[in-house]
């Protein structure tokens, strides 16, 4: 006999609550600043750094959420939503964005021109980060994630189209351009989350 529960709606609410703490935005801002420093120090190291962060960064987020988020809203994760599987999907998406970058450089007639590769670097970061935040928006339903996705894609394309390729300053600027609003949005969301979600008292008397 039907019990009247809309499990689809409960599932959506639980997912949305898991993104409401702002930790995704704060973590992403820190990662983008780290990647920007990597580009400035040694561009060849950025790929290794990005793969390491994507594969293991979620563990740090989970540890923080265990202290901040879960005591306030409880713990929820679908069996199908394994973080390592999501990480592999993100790596494949980044690989696809890099392939598109190669096509863009090829169409520019500069596969052997280092300046063309530098000029196209914001394109791959723009597409990759846009895909990640669009996925977050599909899960959370938050307009702020769609805004960041659109900002990432638009900024990456513009920096590619109008960049000179003299240095990697374009991709560094793109990463910092996203990190600043991400940090501000994440801090606002975290403060709001803590204020509106007191820690649950699960003590049972008697």
**Does a structural domain hold residue 5?**
no
For the chain, count helices (H), then strands (E). 8, 0
Among candidate residues 181, 175, 133, the one with its CA nearest the CA of residue 35: 175
Tokens 């351009």 map to which residue?
177
**Does a structural domain hold residue 135?**
yes
**Does a structural domain hold residue 157?**
yes
Residue 17 has pLDDT above 80, yes or no: no
**Does a structural domain hold residue 205?**
no
Residue 202 has pLDDT above 80, yes or no: no
Residue 80 has pLDDT above 50, yes or no: no
**Does a structural domain hold residue 1?**
no
- Asked if residue 190 lies in contact with residue 22, where contact means CB atoms within 8 angstroms, the answer is yes
- Asked if residue 187 lies in contact with residue 176, where contact means CB atoms within 8 angstroms, the answer is no
Structural domain range at position 162 = 11-196
Residues 37-61 have pLDDT tens digits of 877 777 667 667 776 776 777 778 7
**Does a structural domain hold residue 89?**
yes
CA distance 102 to 96: 10
**Does a structural domain hold residue 202?**
no
CA distance 130 to 145: 9
**Does a structural domain hold residue 203?**
no
Residues 134-162 have pLDDT tens digits of 888 888 888 999 999 999 999 999 998 88
Residues 101-128 have pLDDT tens digits of 667 666 666 666 778 778 888 888 888 8
Q: How many domains does the chain have?
A: 1
pTM over 0.75, yes/no = no
């Amino acid at each position: 006999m039907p019990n009247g529960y809309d499990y689809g709606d409960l599932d959506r609410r639980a997912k949305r609550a898991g993104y409401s703490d702002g930790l995704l935005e704060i973590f992403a801002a820190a990662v983008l600043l780290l990647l920007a420093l990597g580009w400035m120090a040694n561009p060849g190291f950025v790929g290794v750094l990005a793969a390491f962060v994507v594969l293991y960064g979620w563990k740090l987020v989970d540890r923080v959420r265990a202290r901040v988020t879960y005591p306030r809203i409880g713990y929820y994760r679908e069996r199908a939503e394994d973080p390592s599987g999501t990480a592999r999907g993100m790596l494949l998406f980044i690989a696809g964005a890099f392939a598109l970058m190669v096509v863009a450089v090829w169409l520019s007639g500069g596969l052997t021109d280092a300046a063309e590769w530098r000029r196209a670097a914001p394109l791959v970061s723009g597409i990759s980060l846009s895909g990640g935040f669009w996925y977050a928006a599909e899960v959370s339903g938050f307009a702020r994630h769609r805004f960041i996705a659109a900002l990432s894609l638009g900024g990456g394309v513009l920096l590619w189209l109008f960049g000179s390729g003299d240095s990697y300053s374009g991709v560094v600027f793109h990463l910092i351009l996203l990190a600043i609003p991400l940090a501000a949005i994440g801090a606002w969301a975290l403060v709001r989350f803590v204020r509106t979600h007191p820690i649950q008292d699960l003590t049972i008397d008697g």
